[in-house]
């Protein structure tokens, strides 16, 4: 058990981070060079002011008409994404590992709060699953990969919650937790999870078009 | 709702699509698709297709989806699923039947109105993806017959309606003569070099709605405008080739239009009350020709009329006194932000204005735009059925008292006319030009 633990926290963790960073950089580079070659207009019309204007509206809860039409989705999406980012970065157990490995540390979330935020992520994944199954317009679009991605995102939080509470079999669960986190990292550049990096560009481009050519709002 | 209905509700009855499909082989489909994808698309299409997380939030952006009681196959992303997702996933190895359905989706179930871009959290441009599908269909020769006929007319005559060169000039002189009964010495100046305004219209104006040219002439005359209209091809600013996916012809048409104006050394182009023509000149055609913005100042009739009121160049006898509501056309609102100017004109000309909701950028399309009405009778019933949500919006405005719908776009007129008739809404449709002409105080 100990050697598996060393493996998943050692070489495999390095590999996961390398694939995550390298893969993301590669996707960015290949999209950028393809855009330079084929979509020169994107660079012509991209406009920082209007891109930020649009992104700002879409990052503000209830800042767009569609968010108001779908209030439950709005609340869940914002809560989900905020917790999804903050928990792994600021949960005490993770920060300790950075401290032990690299002697760097930062602010940590109080245990109860991190616990609640983890539940928010798990609940949100449940909500997304419910939408996928129950809403015809979402189900029509859903593929097996969409369920898989949802599972990949939920897994580190379910296992993390388990480990934190030290429920039965938590040593095995710890390894599964680390593994699932690594799987998620590796999945980001090669799946639709990459939207986390593309969002500013797609939204920003539409915002630029609407702002400087169409002279209309896009929210 | 249970599982969505089968993709194809009814057999289509369009000879353009049927004959086109008959001539396809899987090899040809694959070759053409990959040619288009490889040489004409790039990171944008890839990003749009790859970034979509299948959340379905675009659905509320689509009037087809809303009009069909939230039938999932009409959501914007569902239309991508029925077209480019599969095509990209299968690397172009799709069947003629697939192309048949894809053509129906791209040409007749999407008005390219771009409303969904305002509902997708990522701002993915599904209208662009549908345009790519149309481009593929055009190259495969699978285009609805009626719209293809207008594209042929564009190719032969540089206008949309098979109008011969002499018929065009004849129509202008006829309208001039008619108008002289009302305003003595009124002129429709042809080919006047150095004029301030080059007035261009769409092919259907001389063909079906010549009175609009008459009215415009009376308004220009009342404003003391130094204006002209061209006697030669280039007078038609419309562009169905943009909608069939024939971008080479789109470029030729826009070039002819810009050059007609440039040859006359005019200060600016003023376009009649049409939406798609404006999209063609201001958004797509100019860019295809390599102009970031149009090479000459181009303004829509709304901007022109607004200017007449702001600068007090025309006077009115009295305000139009029947209650009006205003339809915001996609191509000049989401395409050019003219919604506030439209309201300025309404307030300057009408006593009683009732907003329809949603409005401005969020207004529902008339279901005619994007070339859908130009696909003609085979798709008319489906189009009018898809106007249900628009009909409800009009009924709501009517319930608040509106009697007249102002729609400053020809396609919108066509679409709204069918909707008003089919659903028995009993409202009257007008252009701004109709209203201004009616209340205009003619100078001594």
A35 touches chain B (CB under 8 A): yes
Residue B207: per-residue pLDDT: 96
Report the pLDDT averaged over residues B400-411.
98
B114, B143, B172: which is the final residue of a domain? B143
Report CB contact under 8 Å: B54, A141.
yes
| Contact call for residues A214 and A54 (beta carbons, < 8 A) | no
Which are the contacts of B272, defined by CB distance < 8 A and separation ≥ 6? B199, B200, B201, B202, B205, B212, B216, B237, B301, B410, B433
- Domain check: are B387 and B261 in the same one? no
> Of the candidates B310, B333, B353, which is a domain's last residue?
B310
Supply the ipTM of this predicted assembly: 0.95
Chain B partners within 8 Å of A205 (Cβ): 123
Same domain, B274 and B344: no
**What pLDDT does B7 receive?**
47
Q: Are residues B204 and B300 in the same domain?
A: yes
Do B170 and B269 have their domain in common? yes
**In whole numbers, what is the pLDDT of chain B averaged over residues?**
96
Chain B contact for A78, CB < 8 A? Answer: no
Q: What is the pLDDT of residues A92-102, one digit of tens each?
A: 999 999 999 99
**Which tens digits make up the pLDDT trace of B275-294?**
999 999 999 999 999 999 99
B444: pLDDT strictly greater than 80: no
Query: Best interface-test mutation with B: which of A144, A195, A216 has the largest number of B CBs within 10 A?
Result: A216
A42 touching B (Cβ < 8 Å): yes
At A187 the pLDDT is 98
User: Within chain B, how many helices (H) and strands (E) appear?
Assistant: 23, 7
Say if residue B176 is in the same domain as residue B265.
yes
Cis peptide preceding B358, ω within 30 of 0: yes
Q: Do A137 and B61 touch (CB under 8 A)?
A: no
B119, B124, B283 member nearest A66 (Cβ): B119
Q: Are B37 and B92 in contact (CB under 8 A)?
A: yes
Q: What is the mean pLDDT of residues B315-341?
A: 97
- Residues A210/A217, Cβ–Cβ less than 8 Å: yes
Strands (E), B146-237: 197-200, 227-228
Q: Which residues of B touch A218 (CB under 8 A)?
A: 117-118, 123, 361
Rg, chain B, Cα only: 22
The reply to whether B243 and B167 lie within a common domain is yes
Q: Is there a domain that residue B444 lies in? A: no
Please report the pLDDT score of residue B4 as a whole number. 44
* Structural domain harbouring A20: 2-213
- Identify whether residues B191 and B113 lie together within a single domain: no
Are residues B265 and B331 located together in one domain of the fold? no
What local confidence, expressed as pLDDT, does residue B3 receive? 45
Q: What is the pLDDT of residue B150?
A: 98
Residue A140 domain-assigned (yes or no): yes
The verdict on B299 and B163 lying in the same domain is: yes
Å between B198 CA and nearest CA of chain A: 22
How many Å from the N-terminal Cα to the C-terminal Cα in chain B? 65
Q: Which two tokens stand for residue A133?
A: 């199954």
Stretch B45-65: mean pLDDT: 96
Residues B357 and B428 in one domain: yes
Q: Is the pLDDT of residue B157 over 50?
A: yes
Q: State pLDDT tens for residues A3-28.
A: 999 999 999 999 999 999 999 999 99
**Under an 8 A CB cutoff, do B47 and A198 touch?**
yes
Domain carrying residue B101: 15-143
Q: Is A201 on the interface with B (CB under 8 A)?
A: yes
Q: Which residues of chain A have pLDDT under 70?
A: none
| Total of domains in chain A | 1
Return the pLDDT at A2. Answer: 83
Encode B267-314 in three state secondary structure.
CEEEECCCCHHHHHHHHHHHHHCCCCCCCCEEEEHHHHHHHHHHCCCC
Per the domain annotation, does A90 fall within a domain? Answer: yes
Q: Is residue B410 part of a domain?
A: yes
| Predicted confidence band of residue B10 (pLDDT cuts 50, 70, 90) | low
With respect to residue A126, please indicate whether it lies within any of the assigned structural domains. Answer: yes
Residues in CB range of B9: below 8 A, 6 or more apart: none
Q: pLDDT-derived band of residue B443, with 50, 70 and 90 as boundaries?
A: confident
By Cβ distance, the residue of B2, B54, B117 closest to A138 is B54
Cα(first)–Cα(last) distance of chain A, in Å? 52
Q: How many domains does chain B have?
A: 3
């Amino acid at each position: 058990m100990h050697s598996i633990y060393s493996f998943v926290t050692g070489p495999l963790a390095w590999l996961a981070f390398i694939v995550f960073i390298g893969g993301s950089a590669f996707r960015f580079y290949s999209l950028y060079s393809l855009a330079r070659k084929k979509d020169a207009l994107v660079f012509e019309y991209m406009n920082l002011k209007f891109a930020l204007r649009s992104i700002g509206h879409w990052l503000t809860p209830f800042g767009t008409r569609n968010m108001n039409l779908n209030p439950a989705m709005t609340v869940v999406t914002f809560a989900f994404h905020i917790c999804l980012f903050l928990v792994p970065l600021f949960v005490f157990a993770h920060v300790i590992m950075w401290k032990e490995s690299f002697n760097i540390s930062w602010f940590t979330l109080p245990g109860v709060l991190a616990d609640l935020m983890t539940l928010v992520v798990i609940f949100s994944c449940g909500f997304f699953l419910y939408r996928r199954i129950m809403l015809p317009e979402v189900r029509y679009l859903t593929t097996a990969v969409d369920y898989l991605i949802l599972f990949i995102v939920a897994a580190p939080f379910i296992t993390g919650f388990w480990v934190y509470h030290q429920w039965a079999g938590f040593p095995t669960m710890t390894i599964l937790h680390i593994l699932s986190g690594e799987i998620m990292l590796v999945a980001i550049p090669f799946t639709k999870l990459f939207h986390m990096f593309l969002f500013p560009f797609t939204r920003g481009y539409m915002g630029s078009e609407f702002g400087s050519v169409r002279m209309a709002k896009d929210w | 709702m249970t599982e969505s209905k089968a993709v194809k509700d009814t057999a289509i009855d369009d000879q353009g699509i049927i004959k086109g499909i008959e001539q396809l082989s899987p090899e040809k489909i694959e070759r053409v698709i990959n040619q288009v994808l490889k040489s004409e698309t790039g990171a944008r299409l890839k990003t749009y297709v790859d970034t979509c997380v299948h959340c379905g939030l675009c659905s509320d952006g689509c009037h087809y989806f809303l009009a069909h009681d939230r039938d999932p196959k009409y959501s914007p992303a569902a239309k991508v699923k029925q077209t480019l997702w599969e095509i990209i996933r299968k690397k172009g190895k799709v069947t003629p039947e697939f192309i048949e359905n894809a053509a129906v989706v791209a040409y007749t179930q999407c008005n390219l109105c771009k409303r969904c871009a305002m509902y997708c959290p990522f701002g993915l441009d599904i209208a662009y993806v549908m345009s790519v599908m149309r481009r593929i269909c055009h190259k495969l020769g699978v285009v609805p017959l009626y719209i293809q006929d207008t594209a042929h007319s564009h190719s032969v005559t540089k206008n949309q309606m098979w109008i011969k060169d002499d018929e065009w000039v004849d129509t202008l002189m006829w309208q001039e003569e008619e108008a002289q009964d009302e305003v003595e010495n009124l002129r429709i100046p042809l080919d006047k070099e150095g004029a301030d305004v080059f007035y261009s219209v769409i092919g259907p104006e001389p063909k079906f709605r010549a009175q609009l040219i008459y009215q415009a002439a009376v308004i220009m005359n009342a404003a003391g405008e130094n204006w002209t209209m061209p006697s030669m091809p280039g007078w038609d600013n419309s562009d169905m080739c943009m909608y069939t996916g024939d971008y080479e012809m789109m470029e030729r048409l826009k070039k002819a239009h810009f050059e007609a104006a440039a040859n006359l050394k005019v200060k600016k182009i003023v376009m009649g009350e049409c939406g798609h023509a404006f999209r063609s000149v201001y958004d797509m055609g100019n860019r295809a020709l390599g102009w970031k913005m149009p090479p000459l100042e181009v303004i829509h009739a709304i901007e022109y009329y607004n200017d007449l009121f702001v600068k007090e160049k025309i006077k009115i006898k009295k305000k139009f006194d029947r209650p009006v509501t205003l339809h915001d056309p996609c191509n000049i609102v989401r395409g050019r932000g003219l919604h506030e100017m439209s309201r300025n004109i309404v307030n300057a000309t009408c006593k009683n204005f009732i907003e329809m909701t949603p409005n401005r950028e969020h207004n529902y399309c008339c279901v005619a735009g994007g070339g859908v009405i130009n696909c003609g009778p085979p798709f008319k019933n489906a189009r009018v059925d898809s106007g249900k949500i628009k009909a409800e919006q009009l009924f709501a405005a009517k319930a608040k008292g509106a009697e007249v719908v102002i729609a400053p776009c020809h396609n919108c007129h066509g679409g709204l006319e069918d909707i008003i008739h089919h659903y028995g809404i009993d409202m009257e449709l007008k252009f701004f030009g109709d209203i201004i002409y009616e209340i205009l105080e003619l100078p001594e």
